[in-house]
């Protein structure tokens, strides 16, 4: 399969391949939101399991598709054992730090825990946009990881992370749309907001793809580590706390395990 896709894309600049992959991952959010036109709500158990599934996919992608290739590329660039984990570790801190700042200073609202970030007048900034900002904060690094996943011409790694993130975007799109529907927005508004979060992910992928084209091989470990740190921060700070607030920890843990194993399987078989 990978050989066939490689042959089909032969001669196409890596930027276009990575950007196209990010667009596909973003469109998966739109596809996942379509059932909002037929559903009214999801059970809390199912919603928790779906969100945790996405977290499992993201964690496996962080390790197998970002940190591991980053360490390998860094190892090829240096003869010391200390430099690769040091470079990746520092890059991860930079990625996490950037999105920590975004989480702290951008006004947004979580589906379960409520408002976060700076205090705002909700009469001026509509609640739907607080939801959208919250999702965008963690969708951008996901898209970034898709774009950077093709670093070093690692086509198999890029396809694996694109497939995994696309799969986790399907339930995420539905969760976002149904949550907005439940607080009074129309089906079209809920779908449009979910689709917008998918476009944010695509934008992150384009940024990551552009970085691949502009950066030399020496910066690839930093790019991969940065995306890994951003993803890991989102998992720890955003998704896991959200999925453990309703009392469905077993469903959350099971969904997380299934997502992690699926992404691990994709990465190891498509690489």
Q: State mean pLDDT over 186-212.
A: 84
The pLDDT value recorded for residue 118 is: 47
Query: How many whole angstroms separate alpha carbon 81 and alpha carbon 75?
Result: 8
Q: Which residues contact 232 (CB under 8 A, 6 or more apart)?
A: 59, 62, 92, 95, 96
The pLDDT value recorded for residue 34 is: 93
Among 7-11, 64-68, 74-78, the range scoring the smallest mean pLDDT is 7-11
What are the φ/ψ torsions at residue 185 (nearest 5 degrees)?
A: -90, 155
Asked whether the predicted pLDDT for residue 134 surpasses 50, the reply is yes
State the average pLDDT for the chain: 79
Q: Which residue has the higher pLDDT, 1 or 18?
A: 18
Residue 122's pLDDT band (boundaries 50, 70, 90)?
Answer: very low
Predicted structure pTM score: 0.74
Q: Which residue has the higher pLDDT, 3 or 17?
A: 17
Task: Give the number of other CB atoms < 10 A from CB of residue 130.
Answer: 20
Residue 204's pLDDT band (boundaries 50, 70, 90)?
Answer: confident
Q: Which residue has the higher pLDDT, 157 or 72?
A: 72
Asked whether the predicted pLDDT for residue 257 surpasses 90, the reply is yes
Candidates 92, 57, 136; CA nearest to 224 is 92
The pLDDT value recorded for residue 85 is: 92
Asked whether the predicted pLDDT for residue 129 surpasses 60, the reply is no
**For the chain, where are the alpha helices, taking DSSP H only?**
2-8, 14-33, 44-60, 68-77, 83-105, 127-148, 155-182, 187-214, 220-234, 240-243, 249-270
Asked whether the predicted pLDDT for residue 200 surpasses 80, the reply is yes
143 alpha carbon, distance to own chain's centre: 6
Residue 10's pLDDT band (boundaries 50, 70, 90)?
Answer: low
Asked whether the predicted pLDDT for residue 127 surpasses 60, the reply is no
The pLDDT value recorded for residue 214 is: 65
The pLDDT value recorded for residue 121 is: 47
């Amino acid at each position: 399969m990978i050989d066939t896709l490689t042959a089909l894309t032969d001669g196409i600049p890596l930027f276009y391949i990575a950007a196209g992959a990010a667009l596909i991952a973003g469109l998966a959010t739109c596809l996942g939101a379509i059932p909002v036109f037929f559903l009214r709500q999801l059970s809390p158990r199912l919603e928790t399991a779906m969100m945790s599934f996405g977290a499992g996919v993201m964690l496996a992608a962080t390790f197998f598709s970002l940190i591991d290739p980053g360490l390998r590329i860094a190892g090829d660039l240096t003869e010391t054992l200390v430099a690769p984990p040091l470079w990746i570790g520092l890059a991860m801190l930079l990625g996490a730090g950037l999105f920590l700042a975004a989480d702290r200073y951008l006004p947004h609202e979580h589906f379960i825990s409520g408002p976060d970030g700076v205090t705002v007048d909700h009469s001026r900034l509509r609640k739907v946009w607080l939801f959208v900002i919250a999702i965008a904060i963690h969708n951008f690094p996901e898209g970034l990881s898709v774009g950077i996943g093709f670093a070093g011409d690692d086509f198999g790694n890029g396809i694996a992370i694109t497939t995994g993130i696309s799969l986790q975007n399907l339930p995420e799109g539905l969760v976002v749309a149904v949550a907005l529907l439940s607080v009074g927005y129309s089906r079209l508004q809920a779908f449009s907001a979910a689709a917008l979060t998918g476009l944010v992910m695509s934008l992150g992928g384009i940024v990551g793809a552009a970085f691949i084209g502009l950066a030399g091989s020496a910066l690839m470990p930093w790019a991969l580590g940065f995306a890994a740190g951003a993803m890991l921060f989102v998992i720890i700070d955003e998704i896991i706390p959200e999925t453990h607030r309703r009392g469905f920890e077993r469903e959350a843990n099971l969904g997380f395990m299934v997502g992690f194993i699926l992404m691990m399987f994709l990465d190891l078989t498509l690489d």
